[in-house]
Amino acid sequence: MKASRTFLHSCLRHLPLILGLLLAIAFFLTMTKTFHTRTMHHDEANQALRFKDLMEGPGYKYDPKAHHGPTLYYFTLPHVWLSGKTTFAECTEATMRSVPLLASALTIVVILLHGKLIGHWTALIAAAFFACSPTFTFYSTYYIQEPIFVLALTSAILAGAYWVKNRHPASLGIAAAAIAIAIATKETWVISATAAAMAGAAICLIHKTNPKTLIPNRREWIVAAMAFFIPLVLLFTSFFTNPIGLWHVITGLYHGASQSTSLHRAPWYEYIRRFTWFKNAPGPTWTNLPIVILAIVGTVRAFVKPRQKGREFLQFIAIYAFANLAIYSVIPYKTPWCMLCFCLPTIILAAAGATWWPAHSNKIFPKIVSAIIVAITIAQQIDQALLTNGRYNTDWRNPYVYGHTVKDYLGLIKRIEEITEFLPDEAKNVFVITNVSDAWPTPWYLRKRKDVRFGDVGLRHWPPEQNPAFIIVTPETEDYLKVKDDYAWNTHALRPNTFLFLGVKKDIWERWLDHKINSQGNNATTKP
């Protein structure tokens, strides 16, 4: 009887953690259903082809001028091996997108580990807000660096907080390794590091803490240095095959800063607009106001209640979130997936706001009110997530969609596949003549073909060695190509206000069209 009572007590004590782990599994399984409902963004396709170099090409080398860090590609490799894929052509959208999704599922686990700092039920609510967040559910199935970046940053902050609390060298080692992973993921680590430094300095001033007390001892320095430099050196040198990659860690910051002043410019309030209240055309309104309001309550809780669990940590999170938002807002360069960096600390603050009243009262009424508020917030977030990941998952009215490949583009790919299947011996060679930005995501969708050639829009003569069955061109090249050869032309949208033209040799096109018409006619006559 005593043993069963002890077991029951242990289960109840760890109930938030158990529920949270189940939530992480449910989140992962639910989001896998959205893998194939959205076309590949051109950035995703670009990342995927970078992975191809690692898997079966010349190997990976960090390019500080045009790409982010190496973690996404190296973390994808074991997943591809475990999934039984032996060639890049066998990889699918699900293969690639499983990696960032797994990172987000692990982020839920890391949020749950905040329980000893902010309370286990607060951590569980934060994990629930994360799991149904339209922002995170959308980008968790994007083959981009941000989900891994958020996981690394969150782990570093949590481990650092535990080290400050218990001064255990292992906590500092985990924090150092997580920082190294963040650096090896994206150059914007410098923004988050600046925000964290500002938050740490502010907390020391508020609580009159001597910074010298936070300096590691010799043993801790050794552990932290090993945990930091080993993954950093291995990843950036491509496992000692590219030593100059370490120097590119520095030059990558320069190139990232130079891009921030020229591309993707938007007003300072763009992130606030997209996250809080977004409606730019007839259709749904996207809003995270319930989360924002609760986060404001959580921030007030952190600074006005002198005695509460995790007060200093919540204050750090509040300052860190605001500093991140402020820095990202000041920088002219803006892409919506950057919102993830301040979205997660905002969610943690929202959970703290939702549990403020019941945390300071033993009465049942505050707990009921808090439960209702949490339930309404989760319901609203789920509704937004369904819109974001469902009907509007490539629609420009969605605040998280940014220059996404429209679904009409798949018609171009399907047309090539259908004609090739009908005339496998004749429908050979695909020639793509576009500018660099409009070439994507074509290399991904034609990855199984060995007869694809890419050319630049500056090409002004027809290659004599090529007699392609298919030509894919942008408007600036279509005019001079269509008079050069006898092709039938189809128009397909690539992105909003961006089009591609598919040219098919007329003899192939006419034979396929006759086959298509006859097939439809035969099907119609056989119907009862």
In this prediction, residues 258-284 reach a mean pLDDT of: 84
Tell me: the pLDDT tens digits for 385-428? 999 999 999 999 999 999 899 999 999 999 999 999 999 988 88
pLDDT band for position 304 (cuts 50, 70, 90): confident
SS3 319: helix
Cβ–Cβ < 8 Å for 216, 224: yes
SS3 308: coil
Question: E strand or H helix at 500, and its extent?
Answer: strand 498-505
Task: State the pLDDT at residue 52.
Answer: 94
Distances from the Cα of 121 to the Cα of 82, 112, 257, 345, angstroms: 35, 9, 40, 16
**pLDDT at residue 54 is higher than 90:** yes
SS3 466: coil
Residue 472 DSSP label: E
SS3 151: helix
| Mean pLDDT taken over the chain | 87
- Hey, how many other C-beta atoms are within 10 angstroms of the C-beta on 436? 11
Cβ–Cβ < 8 Å for 150, 102: no
CA distance 186 to 62: 11
SS3 433: strand
In this prediction, residues 255-275 reach a mean pLDDT of: 78
Cβ–Cβ < 8 Å for 358, 167: no
Task: State the pLDDT at residue 306.
Answer: 62
CA distance 147 to 197: 22
SS3 392: coil
CA distance 81 to 87: 10
Tell me: the pLDDT tens digits for 73-101? 999 999 999 989 999 999 999 999 999 99
Q: In what order do the strands lie in the sheet with 470-473?
A: 452-456, 430-434, 470-473, 498-505, 487-495
In this prediction, residues 102-106 reach a mean pLDDT of: 95
In this prediction, residues 154-177 reach a mean pLDDT of: 93
Residue carrying structure tokens 């894919």: 472
- Hey, how many other C-beta atoms are within 10 angstroms of the C-beta on 306? 6
CA–centroid distance for 34 within its chain = 14
Closest CA to 503 of 444, 427, 423: 427
pLDDT band for position 63 (cuts 50, 70, 90): confident
Task: State the pLDDT at residue 527.
Answer: 45
In one-letter notation, the amino acid at residue 126 is A
pLDDT band for position 526 (cuts 50, 70, 90): very low
Tell me: the pLDDT tens digits for 192-236? 999 999 999 999 998 888 877 888 888 889 999 999 999 999 999
Strand pairing category for 498-505 and 470-473: antiparallel
Task: State the pLDDT at residue 517.
Answer: 84
**pLDDT at residue 263 is higher than 60:** yes
Tell me: the pLDDT tens digits for 430-469? 988 888 778 899 999 999 999 998 877 665 555 545 678 8
Task: State the pLDDT at residue 7.
Answer: 45
Tell me: the pLDDT tens digits for 317-362? 999 999 999 999 999 989 999 999 999 999 999 999 999 887 777 7
Closest CA to 352 of 304, 316, 310: 310
